[in-house]
Amino acid sequence: MAMKGTAANTGILLVTANVGSLFDDPENLQKNWLREFYQVVHTHKPHFMALHCQEFGGKNYEASMSHVDKFVKELLSSDAMKDYNRARVYLDENFKSQEQFTALGSFYFLHESLKNIYQFDFKAKKYKKVTGKEIYSDTLESTPMLEKEKFPQDYFPECKWSRKGFIRTRWCITDCAFDLVNIHLFHDASNLVAWETSPSVYSGIRHKALSYVLDRIIDQRFERVSYFVFGDFNFRLDAKSVVETLCAKATMQTVRAADTNEVVKLIFRESDNDRKVMLQLEKKLFDYFNQDVFRDNNGTALLEFDKELSVFKDKLYELDISFPPSYPYSEDCSQGMQYMNTRCPAWCDRILMSHSAKELILKSENDEKQVVYDHIGPNVCMGDHKPVFLSFRIAAGAGKRCLRNEKIFRESSL
């Protein structure tokens, strides 16, 4: 595989993918998913690649173990990945531990042309040279090459079996240090509850969890470096504002449960046009009559309702979004572009970075597009989430150097 770039810069590919659907229906979904993923690798030809997966193993991890092993083996041994001669795989497979299980999977691939790559040992506080291919699974808490935490149960008491948390690794490439954080934040449990307030109560829960992660990765335990945080943030459009805009000329009917008087459904009808139903809203139903609004011009008209990141603008940066909402797509293989009517489509899957990481990205000096932020498999069923990727280059000498004392590199090489 011919590599893009020169000795002066290094191609980086970051990918986030909620892959739960792949293990719930592996026979129909995994082949298409892998084909589209490999196509992105072939197109961008990175020297270093990070794949952050959430819901790895699906809803029933124990029943999916054989599919997990097959998926990992395929990624590590496929012909499409043959030029990546070093790899690190971290799989949280400790599904029996309610206190620790996150269902996160982090994959890192290094091209054979990439020399002298180091990974940080958080226990020894030293970098170690990366050689060979290694897989770490089950109890990741004892692995010194990463930091992993599951969010406390009281962050989201509604969900007794939440699997939300983060995994952090630190790398040194072209003598430049940066953190890569795999993250999965809390979802909206009910469309009706999300609609009640602006911002929603769930937005506040995600804000709390993300603040916790950012505080952890910039605390005083380790030297501060640039960081990329990518995963399923579960960011949602501001439901109240979206509904008010989409149904501005509609009348609302409230349906209550006969026994509890609890609101169980909202029906929005056009004021005229034979009172046509525009939107039906239930706990797990968001049925809008015209899905084109979420796809036209990649849904950019709805970006004004994508507000959850704004409170972090002093800490996090994101490139402009030019792809449609990444969730919730149909899991029917014949409907790769269709959204399910369970949730309002939203940009859940994102790649964010510190402002110092933004400066690492090598801007192109010619007409070739060197920085690409996009989704994978636009016309293909990839499960309920479309993976999102960021392709860029790091210039030699960019950013903070890994260590001032290069002797430590040699002493800590494996």
92 burial class (0-12, 13-18, 19+ CB within 10 angstroms)?
A: buried
Contact 206, 185 (CB under 8 A): yes
Token code pair at residue 391: 């392709």
Residues in the chain: 414
The pLDDT score that the predictor gives to residue 403 is 59
DSSP state of 407: H
Task: Note the pLDDT tens digit of each residue in 18-36.
Answer: 999 999 889 889 999 999 9
Question: What number of CA atoms fall less than 13 Å from residue 94's CA on the CB side?
Answer: 18
Burial 21-38 (b: 16+ CB within 10 A, else e): bbbbbbeebbebbbebbe
Predicted confidence (pLDDT) at residue 369 exceeds the cutoff of 80: no
Contact 325, 302 (CB under 8 A): yes
Mean predicted confidence (pLDDT) in 229-234: 98
- pLDDT category at 59 given cuts 50, 70, 90 is confident
Q: Which of 127, 150, 154 is nearest to 213 (CA)?
A: 150
Token code pair at residue 101: 């299980």
The pLDDT score that the predictor gives to residue 397 is 67
End-to-end CA distance of the chain: 27
Contact 56, 385 (CB under 8 A): no
- pLDDT category at 155 given cuts 50, 70, 90 is confident
- pLDDT category at 60 given cuts 50, 70, 90 is confident
Whether the bond between 324 and the residue before it is cis, its omega within 30 degrees of 0, is: no
Token code pair at residue 214: 């950012």
CA distance 348 to 325: 7
Predicted confidence (pLDDT) at residue 356 exceeds the cutoff of 50: yes
CA distance 379 to 181: 28
Angle between helices 26-44 and 61-77 (to 10 degrees): 30
Q: Quote helix, strand, coil % in the chain, to nearest 5.
A: 25, 30, 45
Q: Which of 209, 204, 221 is nearest to 102 (CA)?
A: 209
Task: Give strand pairing partners of 251.
Answer: 269
Contact 294, 324 (CB under 8 A): yes
Token code pair at residue 120: 């940080």
- Model pTM score: 0.94
- pLDDT category at 8 given cuts 50, 70, 90 is low
Predicted confidence (pLDDT) at residue 161 exceeds the cutoff of 80: no
CA distance 178 to 326: 26
Mean predicted confidence (pLDDT) in 388-398: 86
CA distance 340 to 336: 11
The mean of the pLDDT values for the chain is: 91
The pLDDT score that the predictor gives to residue 143 is 95
Task: Note the pLDDT tens digit of each residue in 260-270.
Answer: 999 999 999 99
DSSP state of 399: S
